[in-house]
Structure 1
Amino acid sequence: MSDTLNVDCLPLPDGGVLRVSRAGERLTLALDGQPRMQLRLSPAQPGLAVSVLEYDDIDEALWAAGYWLFARHPECQRLLWSGLEAAPESRATGLVVPSSEGLESWRSQFWQQPRPWLRGQTSAGYPQRPVMANGVRFPQRPPKPEGEVYRRYDVRLGGWISLRTLDIEQDLERYHRWQNSPRVAAFWEEEGSLEQHREHLQALAGDPHCLQLIGCFDDDPFGFFDVYWAREDRIGPYYDAGPYDRGIHMLVGEERYRGPHRVASWLPALVHYLFLDDPRTQTLVSEPRWDNERMISHLQRVGFHRQKDFDFPHKRASLMALTRECFFDRCPLC
């Protein structure tokens, strides 16, 4: 296949490792040193045909094979399986689905599996109860998570991309330095003293409609993301916000982590986290300044489309929107 990545080892967030070895046309997938599946590959239309020769613990084997194949072949949309009978659990979770050609796995469904990327508390399954505030009706929001919320090994970069919640004592100086950077201040306009930034972060921490995240490459912090529920946010009056729509404000503070190849890692990871965190979230939005063409271009590469330009009281902005269907259909993860 034209876009094959040379991958024989995939670290997992729980500390495990998925390895692949070759003997002629036969591939052996092992998790933590234990063989899970032997298979052979050939082209299919569209995707890959997977001939399963041997397997152990079919649900785990299917997940491991799906992860390695979709990560190694980022353009592959479908796997067509032969030589196995899937357990009911595999069908129930969407790892495989029956078709006229047998059993198949779809890239768009695989990457909607929450394991093992999500870490700790999620919003999924939080009971829905409508509340009102400032004339706006929206679901009561769940408690905010703490600590690491997402981790995935990025095959193209050869390292970890992770997200954790902001810790004011740990991250204040870093946030202060980032916001006072002329490059960041040109768009965020939130320069200030250390104490002003402390008060600002404390106010955000007490606001149930938003969540502050720190992005890390190999556990080294590089950026700040303010994630918000759109309906009760300032963006709410400017479009028909769904009850679980979320929005994102983004900044990269560390100069060494700038560049399109880095954005191509952290932006899909942030989007992936938000769609996994609550399956009821169908749309993500962002509202960069209308003339921030670089950020708008990055968003468009992930699948956001520019709905309109509009005027906030403090800036002219572009409304960028990305649906769950569009993201997972294109699914730039590997």
Structure 2
Amino acid sequence: MRCEVAPVLHLDDGFDLRPALASDAGVVAQWMAQPHIVPWWESDWPVERWARSLDEQAAGEHSVPCLVAADGTDLGYVELYRVRHDRLAEYYAWREHDWGLHVAIGDVAQVGRGIGRRLLRALADAVLRADPRCDRVVAEPDVRNTPSLRAFAAAGFEPAGELQLPEKTALLMVRTRTVEAS
């Protein structure tokens, strides 16, 4: 069964989002090897492993792997997922229609320019538009990842407590439907 999200979400603020395919594994592997991503994702895998992961995600009901672009140029990797199908559901009081997201800005030239904040807001807005039953979009960045925490806060996500996950202490960040879209 496939994940319950449209294959492509329209994003505001000039972003395009498309499903990531096994043929995208090379660029995803390159991004995941970047020093600003490795400590947080721990997914510095070979291209072949990324190709398998992208295929498995596309075939399952858990998450939708995507590439995000601005001005026609790919700049990052995104995973959208239903929390109820994710291990994150074991760590907080999730709601039936909560969506989660993982984001990595892979293009080093785009890091530190406010892209993350804009992208996170656009992603949350798009998910909330696409699923009227969803009231919350969540994320669980590592508490030590200060740039990520700042970007989530600037995108309207509120901290909702620390979570002790097996690989990290995370801060649950929640964006509700009540935050005004910009």
**TM-score normalised over the length of structure 1:** 0.51
Give the drift of 1:262: 1.8
Give distance in 2, aligned partners of 1:245 and 1:253.
26
Q: Give the percent of matched residue pairs that are identical in Structure 1 and Structure 2.
A: 25
* 1:224 maps to amino acid: Y
Q: Counting helix residues as a fraction of each chain, which structure ranks higher?
A: 2
* C-alpha separation in 1, matches of 2:2 and 2:133: 13
Q: Distance in 1 between matches of 2:64 and 2:161?
A: 26
CA offsets 1:256-280 (integer angstroms, 9 cap, x no match): 2222432232121111111111010
Query: Could you tell me how far 1:235 is from its partner in structure 2?
Result: 1.0
Q: Does 1:210 align with 2:63?
A: yes
Which is higher, the Rg of structure 1 or of structure 2? Answer: 1
Instruction: Provide closer, same or farther for how the CA distance between residues 143 and 267 of structure 1 changes in structure 2, counting only shifts above 3 A.
Output: closer
Pairing partner for 1:197 from 47, 50, 54: 50
**Residues 1:164 and 2:24 aligned together:** no
CA distance, structure 2, for counterparts of residue 257 and residue 182 of structure 1? 14
Which residue of 2 is the match for residue 244 of structure 1?
97
**8 Å Cα contact 2:20-2:54 kept in structure 1:** no
Name structure 2 gaps, 5 residues minimum.
Answer: none
CA distance in structure 2 between the aligned counterparts of 1:144 and 1:266, rounded to whole angstroms:
18
Asked whether the equivalents of residues 82 and 97 of structure 2 are also in contact (C-alpha less than 8 Å), the reply is yes
Q: 2:88 aligns with which of 235, 258, 262?
A: 235
Which structure 1 residue ranges, 4+ long, deviate > 2 Å from structure 2? Answer: 140-146
Task: Give the aligned partner of residue 9 of structure 2.
Answer: 149
Contact 1:161 1:265 (C-alpha < 8 Å) held by counterparts: no
Q: Which deviations, in whole Å up to 9, do the C-alpha atoms of 1:88-110 show, x marking residues without a partner?
A: xxxxxxxxxxxxxxxxxxxxxxx
TM-score (norm 2): 0.91
Q: Kindly report which structure 2 residues correspond to 1:48-67, keeping only aligned pairs within 5 A, or say none.
A: none
Distance 1:221 1:247, change over 3 A: same
Unaligned residue ranges in structure 1 (runs of 5+): 1-139, 155-159
Q: State the Cα deviation string for residues 174-207 of structure 1 (Å, max 9, x = none).
A: 0010111222111111112111221222222222
